[in-house]
Amino acid sequence: GCPYNCSGHGQCVELACECDLQHRGAGCELSNFEVAIGIMHQATISLHGWNYYTWPQSAGQEWEVVIQSIGGPEDDPDLYLGWNRLPSLVSADAWDRQSPAVRRAI
């Protein structure tokens, strides 16, 4: 199959992901846009999938990232943060696995 099952952001065609316009990467795991500060961004994440977002940060600034599930109790988003790198389950600079809403100050 395709890497990460195309992360729910594309279609698997001949063992390669064809990503939708907002995503890129071998498994469509990278977003093609920078999140605007102060503007709500709504996204869908496939079961066990990952969405990656970037935003500008200046030295000394503090941010609050808010993730909220609109599904039932089985929909439990987790937040993993990486500074200047992609985070993973085993390598992240910060994380929050609370349920059902996640708030993490950066």
pLDDT at position 41 is: 77
When pLDDT is cut at 50, 70 and 90, the band that residue 14 belongs to is very high
Average pLDDT over every residue of 77-104: 72
Phi and psi at 7, nearest 5°, equal 55, 20
CB 65, CB 33: distance < 8 Å: no
CA distance 86 to 103: 19
84-94: per-residue pLDDT in tens?
Answer: 777 777 888 88
